[in-house]
Chains A and B, each alone.
Chain A
Amino acid sequence: MILSKKVILLLSLLSLTLISTSQNTASQNDLIENLIEEIAEQSEEELDYSNLLDELNKLLIDPINLNNANESDLDKLFILNKNQITNFIKYRESTGQIFSLYELQLIPGFSSAVIRNIAPFVNLKQISRDTLNTRKKAKHILLLKSEKTIEKEKGYSTENTNSRYLGSPWKYYSRYQYTSAQNKISFGFTSEKDKGEPFFEGENKNGFDFYTAFVQYNSKSILKQVNLGDYQVKFGQGLSLWAGLGGGKSSLTTHNAYKSQGIKSYKSTDENQFYRGISVLLEPLKNVNLALFSSYKKKDGSLDSDSITPFISSIVNTGFHRNSNEFNQKHNLKEMVLGSYLSVNLNKIEMGISFLQTKYSPEIRGTDAPYNYYNYKGNKNQNLSFYYESQYRSIHLYGEIAQSKSGGRAILQGANIQAHPQLNFELIYRKYDPDYHALFSNSFSEQSKTQNEEGFYMGVEFHPYPKWTVKAYYDQFKFPWLRYSANSPSEGHEYFSQLEFTPSNLVSVYFRYKQENKPVNNSSDIIKGLEIQKKNQYRLHLSAKINENWEIRNRIEVSHFQKENTNENGYLIYQDLIYHFTKQPISINLRYALFDTESYNSRIYAYENDILYGYSVPAYYLKGNRFYLNFNWKVNRNLKLYVKYAQTKYSNQTSIGSSNSEINGDSKSEIKLLLKFRF
């Protein structure tokens, strides 16, 4: 054993140089891609990933030192689950300092693929040297961004005065953030004007359409954290309190346990998923946290009236206020929130309880559609929830149970088991009643709501040989009540498998197969019954760093859609070229993609490189090509410039999009600019 350890040390010293020079963007991108692509595929709405990207970017600038990181630091890596973290800490306790990332392969649950993924976000500084480095400076970050669709959409020129866009086609965004030297105080603001929204004119006399600001104070006393302004709360497994992005099923098949994150200041541009007010986090005893928070804000919603009282028939989450139709929905709903949670972290077990009270004015009613029968109605809601998590040997158990004012309950119970150093599997059972109402939840589920669902999930990650990884999951779900697109209770399943080969830390290839069977309404004109909708996807993906300058990524993806008599195929093929200049701090990123699908049904999603904090996962559908060019230039220590130009050209269309976003012609192009100042 001692001998083998020495050999490894030697090997690792040799390879140290290799790894440190290959802080490759390839793996960093692969990770973000994995996390985001899957979430985007499952969500119909456009989500805001900027908080997630923000955290990953923070790690890129200030990587986690594996030699002194504690459990909560490692939680930030997203890619490591509880079992891997526990094993890592055990390993470090028994062997002392870690000298090379390759050494991590000795730890149960770590493979070369995992190491390749975390490499950009960690470093291995010696602890002694690290202590000299404590004199940190205060940080300011300022971001300025604007973007525009070059072709004119119909909304800018339509005759209809209600739907005509009132502003310019430019999108403007700015963000400023200050963090004090000891990380005691941070504050900042974000403002945004979407494409088509008025700017210093009309309804938006104050300039931007959306503003958010925060102040956060941290200390080591009883008063641990105070937030003023906008913040988010993430508690337990997300059954009652989880603002913003959750996990969702992804190619990280055994990483579905949520980690309570407590209260965080809000910097994103989603106009709904946050609280606005004040929050206080106390630590009266060691490892006991008590949080109290309150919020008051206005949300968008369509206002209706039954001749006596006004009510909200639906909540609008887009955040767009471009024409008078959309302005009529702006800020119609007042939302008051009072909440608190208490969590205790004992050595082996962590648990917490939360209570949340929400008041709405006017009341929310929803439509009379049968699928809406159990949906939230009224002007008051309460949520009570309890969660726990525990590590026993190589089993990580976690769960939450919650109840809303209606009496509806939600339960989630999961287990992650490191059955063997090379084999990790995860089982999750969840049951959310049709009448469980939690308007701030975002938990593990097939649907976007924590409601009307029961299911079993099994995921596995297996490293049969050092360079090979097999990942798979199977999820069986049932919807006890109707859904928007399904006129009766229904059930379905989803299957995913991926075989990954990582011959070195510069090259990775995977093949993926994914299948989803889910019943939806058929196209009958008389009585709509259910029909099974089948989706199959096959993907082959390669990413490689060829030398210091060149990186490539290739993908071929085939999708198959089947429902009733419809049988459709879709194809996507793309080539990415990434070039880093050696003499200049410039990199260029190019994609050319060809796609051919019969309709939107057989669409294919693919993550795109974007400007910093930007994200896009466009759906490729119909027939045509798309290319984009990304240009990143680090002008000096304090200033970075990002530019993106993208164009999609369809071969069989004379117009793109529908209603207000329709464009005449066969191509759509977009330009984005971002400046980042750090001082």
Chain B
Amino acid sequence: MKKTYFLIFLLFPIHLFATNENHLAGARSHAMGNSSVALLDNWAGFHNQAILAKLDQISFGAYYENRFEIKELSTKAFHFNYPTKLGTFSMTYKQFGFNLYKESKIGIAYSRALGKHFWAGLQFDQIRKELNQSYGSQSKYTFEAGILAEIFPDIHLGFHIFNPSQTNFTTLDYEDEIPCIARLGLSWKLSDQTIITSEVEKDLDHDIRTKFGIEYGISEMISLRAGVSNHPNSISMGMGFSYKLVKSNISFSRHPVLGYSPSADINISF
């Protein structure tokens, strides 16, 4: 069954491959239905760079996602955040695919506070696509930007835009677009243990997506997460473990037709 779907991917690669996504990473966000545009998280370099300014520790981490449990559709990502007095600098790297089809993205971001309740961030990206040898490879440069505002105590509003310049890959016989995506969302920290998030995402060429997420810390060390999103309808769940410097998260999401996508990450912050 999975093989058949995989064949279908190969026949219609454009929309099902990762380029029509926002290049998200981080198992915590994944478990919360990817509603992370206003969520304080080490992986904010993939969600909303403005959040990076709120981080106060140096952190680095690695992420792995296995989409639909197919080895060839796996994502690897890394982040490194370095907060300074001037603001936070961050570097992110993400790679998707296998030897016949590979996408990668390198991002360099800067983020800082603009007042007591307002933060902004900007990131430059290099996006690279490698097909097998006969088709060669291509690199494009674009940027993304985000803002975060604390509109009420413990309620944050985030806005993020990816590729506003609508940069595309140049191809001969088909359109290979890098999507232009805007996201707007809220996170509400009900208590130290409990956060709820929601977000709407609009890709210029696709339906509007709505996402919700919940996180609940059962103890200092363990938290539980769940999320839903539509277009495609998917449900996700996950757990987080934290021990001294190390934080680790696992999660999975379920596509109604294509099945499960597990993911995991590990982070060190000091």
Contact = CB atoms under 8 A, between A and B. Distances in A.
Given A419-B216, A420-B191, A462 B226 contact: no
Interface in A358-417: 393-395, 417
Interface string A447-475: 00000000010101010000000001010
Contacts of A417: 216, 224
Given A422-B190, A425-B214, A456 B254 contact: yes
Contacts of A423: 190, 194, 196, 214
B254 A476 contact: yes
Given A425-B226, A427-B237, A474-B235, A419 B193 contact: yes
A491 interface: yes
A136 B21 CA distance: 69
A460 B228 CA distance: 12
A259 interface: no
Contact of A458 (B196, B226, B256): B226
Contacts, number: 48
A478 B257 CA distance: 9
B256 A491 contact: yes
Given A417-B216, A476-B254, A476-B256, A458 B228 contact: yes
B211 to A, nearest CB: 11
B95 to A, nearest CB: 30
A336 to B, nearest CB: 41
A539 interface: no
Contacts of B237: 427
Nearest to A417: B216
Contacts of A472: 212
A476 B236 CA distance: 11
B84 interface: no
Nearest to B219: A393
B218 A395 contact: yes
Interface in A412-455: 417, 419-420, 422-423, 425, 427
Interface in B186-225: 190-191, 193-194, 196, 212, 214, 216, 218, 224
A462 B254 contact: no
A468 to B, nearest CB: 14
A458 B214 CA distance: 11
B233 interface: yes
A314 B97 CA distance: 52
A493 interface: yes
A472 B228 CA distance: 11
Contacts of B228: 458, 474
A420 B192 CA distance: 10
A373 B223 CA distance: 44
B235 A420 contact: no
Contacts of A427: 226, 237
A478 B190 contact: no
A93 B225 CA distance: 31
B186 to A, nearest CB: 12
Nearest to A457: B235
Contacts of B233: 474, 476, 493
A419 B214 contact: yes
A425 B216 CA distance: 10
B158 to A, nearest CB: 19
Contact of A462 (B196, B230, B234): B196
Contacts of A491: 256-257
Nearest to B235: A456
A438 B196 CA distance: 39
B210 to A, nearest CB: 10
Given A417-B224, A419-B193, A423-B196, A458 B235 contact: yes
Nearest to B228: A474
A476 B257 CA distance: 11
Interface of A: 393-395, 417, 419-420, 422-423, 425, 427, 456, 458, 460, 462, 472, 474, 476, 478, 491-493, 495
30 contacts: A393-B218, A394-B218, A417-B224, A419-B190, A419-B194, A419-B214, A419-B216, A420-B190, A420-B191, A420-B193, A420-B216, A422-B190, A423-B190, A425-B214, A425-B216, A425-B226, A427-B237, A456-B254, A458-B226, A462-B196, A474-B235, A476-B233, A476-B234, A476-B235, A476-B254, A476-B256, A491-B256, A492-B256, A493-B256, A495-B230
Given A456-B254, A493-B233, 12 more contacts: A417-B224, A419-B214, A420-B190, A422-B190, A427-B237, A458-B235, A462-B196, A472-B212, A474-B228, A474-B233, A476-B234, A495-B230
Interface of B: 190-191, 193-194, 196, 212, 214, 216, 218, 224, 226, 228, 230, 233-235, 237, 254, 256-257
5 shortest A-B CB distances, which residue pairs? A419-B216, A420-B194, A420-B190, A419-B194, A474-B228
